[in-house]
Amino acid sequence: MINLPILPILIALPLIGLVFIFLSSEEDENAEQSKKSALWTSASNFVLSLYLPINFDKSIPHFQFVNTFSWFNNDSLRFSLGVDGLSMPFIILSTFLILACIIFILPQAKKNMKMYLASFLVLESFLIGTFSALDLFSFYIFFESILIPMYLIIGFWGGERRIYSAYKFFLYTLLGSVLMLIAIIFLYQEFGTISIPKLLDYTLPFYIQIWLWIAFFSSFAVKIPMWPFHTWLPDAHVEAPTEGSVILAGILLKLGGYGFIRFNLSILPDASIFFTPFIYFLSVVAIIYTSYIALVQDDMKKLIAYSSVAHMGFVTLGIFSANIQGLHGAIIQMISHGVISAALFFSIGSIYNRYKTKRIDFFGGLNIKLPKFSVVFLIFTLGSIGLPGTSGFVGEYLTLLAVYSKNTMVAFISTLGVILSASYMLKLYKRVFLGGLSENLDKKKDDINIYEICLYVVLVILIFIIGIKPGLILSYTTASLERIIQFYPISIF
């Protein structure tokens, strides 16, 4: 294996693309030159990120591709980057979705296009940094830095109430994560190291674990988001521009799940066992309650946003079941939700670009106007429901399997969520695409363009690939996940 410093390259490359964007002197809303540089940057970053799975040694549970930099000239305080089976899929997901967003932006015109593209490239750099950070401080720095470009994306290019939503997003997540900062500093003081691989070897007394767990939980529960900390999400989604929603639902929410596995589950096992009933309760409420809320939404984006909270409920159930099926389920559910919700938001973006509204009752019989598009949307809808054969099914099935082995009641109630998800998603499809043609849709609109076709075909293929052969992802993650849960008893209660 060549010793290529792949992770620093992946983080630095978008920033180099940034320089090209700012060097071009064009100012118009199309900014063709900048679009090209952004496209090339994100495409090459995606191709480069494929270096990771190709050269990844699946049998090693430890971190690979490790790079260390001195930060404070002190052996215990070093920046380090590396990936294991847990973080690798998320890095690929990030580079893929950013590329998808840039492709989706290509035919559009927006005010301040250069800064829009730049925000996405910065976001990409920070996202890869967060997923590959191997020490607490750089994790925190990347994790928090993401707020800045995302705040600008929502606040600058968002909808009507964008400023309120951007505020809410920023302050909610900041409030959650400052407590994590205290926990991180405490861990450093306690062990004299900030390296995550080293922390895995220590065990903490139970009463300290409890407090640290709450501190980490407060950060990730807001990010993922769990009920009742989810209220920022619908606002942020509705007001964010299409690409912003895609990144938000596709990757940012996964930071919460990733953090839960990386910190709460790995470093604080006793507290995780202690808090499992609490998590189960919140997850079940999230699944049932937000599904019901999704049923009555009349804004498409809001509906998908609430369904995201419900889907993330499955993720937390899977994670805190703390067995291999549960974690596999959680990972597949996160990746699949990353793909499907991104696809759904892109689709809503396509609709919005044509009709300038996201209200469900505006539409009806859209399949007559946009026949190809309605097929694609149906596949995404079925994926979101979790139809066998699509990726959504694998995640939910594995999660429910894991939970069933721990607690039958919880598994039973959360299965109702699957039915509810079918009802709200199918209702959405029926109201928008089927039925008589609404008189609002008189004007002729083009069916999806070539960029959109490329994008949707790739997403559809991905949904089926993950659904039919989830082992493609799971073969990478198994070794690392088994290492994480080796301290957990087989049955918790």
Partner 1 sequence: MFVIPEIFLAICAIVILFITPFLKKNSYLTISYLSLFVIFLSQFLILKDIFYSEVIFNGFFVVDSFGSFLKSLILIGAGLIFYFYVTVNNPKSLKRPEFAIILLISIVGMLLMISSNDLLSLFMSMELQSLSLYILVSFSRDDFTSSEAGVKYFIIGSLSTCIFLFGTSLVYGLVGSTSFSEISIFMSDLYSTPTMLIVGLIFILVSLSLKISAAPFHMWTPDVYQGAPSIITTLLSTLPKIAAFGVLIRLLVYPFGEIIVDWGKILIILSISSMLIGSLGALRQTDLKRLMAYSTINHIGFILMGLIPGSEDGITSICIYLIFYITMNLGIFLFILNMQRDQVSVTSIKDLSGLYRSQPLTAGCVSIILFSMAGIPPMAGFIGKLIILNIVIDNNLFFLAVIAVLTSVIAAFYYIRLIKSIFFDDPVDELDNISNDHSRYMLCGFALFNLIVVFYPQFFLNICASITLSLFAVK
Residues contributing to the site for partner 1 (CB under 8 A): 70-74, 137, 140-142, 144-145, 147-148, 151-152, 155-156, 162-163, 166-167, 170-171, 174-175, 178-179, 181-182, 185-186, 188-189
For the beta carbon of residue 205, count every other beta carbon within 10 angstroms. 8
| Distance of alpha carbon 421 from alpha carbon 58, whole angstroms | 35
Q: What is the CA radius of gyration of the chain?
A: 22
Shortest Cβ distance from residue 425 to partner 1 (Å)? 34
Q: Considering the complex, state which of residue 259 and residue 395 has its C-beta at the smaller distance from partner 1.
A: 259
Q: Is the separation of the CB atoms in 485 and 324 below 8 Å?
A: yes
Q: Considering the complex, state which of residue 130 and residue 390 has its C-beta at the smaller distance from partner 1.
A: 130
DSSP for 367-420, please give it: HHH-HHHHHHHHHHHHHHHT-BTBHHHHHHHHHHHHHHHH-HHHHHHHHHHHHH
| Distance of alpha carbon 458 from alpha carbon 192, whole angstroms | 46
Q: Considering the complex, state which of residue 158 and residue 417 has its C-beta at the smaller distance from partner 1.
A: 158
231: left (phi over 0), alpha (psi -120 to 50) or beta: alpha
Shortest Cβ distance from residue 146 to partner 1 (Å)? 10
How far is CA 431 from its chain centroid?
A: 28
Shortest Cβ distance from residue 179 to partner 1 (Å)? 7
Q: Is the separation of the CB atoms in 95 and 88 below 8 Å?
A: no
Q: Considering the complex, state which of residue 84 and residue 144 has its C-beta at the smaller distance from partner 1.
A: 144
Shortest Cβ distance from residue 113 to partner 1 (Å)? 13
Q: Considering the complex, state which of residue 177 and residue 321 has its C-beta at the smaller distance from partner 1.
A: 177
Peptide bond into 277 cis (omega under 30): no
Shortest Cβ distance from residue 187 to partner 1 (Å)? 10
Q: Which positions ≥6 away from 408 have C-beta within 8 Å?
A: none
Q: Is the separation of the CB atoms in 347 and 259 below 8 Å?
A: no
Q: With b meaning 16 or more CB within 10 Å and e meaning fewer, what string describes 213-245?
A: bbbbbbbbbbbbbbbebbebbbbbbbbbbbbbb
Q: Considering the complex, state which of residue 192 and residue 228 has its C-beta at the smaller distance from partner 1.
A: 192
Shortest Cβ distance from residue 80 to partner 1 (Å)? 15
Q: Considering the complex, state which of residue 149 and residue 395 has its C-beta at the smaller distance from partner 1.
A: 149
Q: Helix, strand or coil for residue 241?
A: coil
Strands 77-83 and 64-74, by their bridges, are antiparallel
Shortest Cβ distance from residue 203 to partner 1 (Å)? 20
Q: Considering the complex, state which of residue 27 and residue 446 has its C-beta at the smaller distance from partner 1.
A: 27
Shortest Cβ distance from residue 483 to partner 1 (Å)? 29
Q: What is the DSSP letter of 441?
A: G
Shortest Cβ distance from residue 279 to partner 1 (Å)? 23
Q: Considering the complex, state which of residue 170 and residue 373 has its C-beta at the smaller distance from partner 1.
A: 170
Q: Considering the complex, state which of residue 211 and residue 451 has its C-beta at the smaller distance from partner 1.
A: 211
Q: H/E element holding 151?
A: helix 147-157
Shortest Cβ distance from residue 186 to partner 1 (Å)? 5
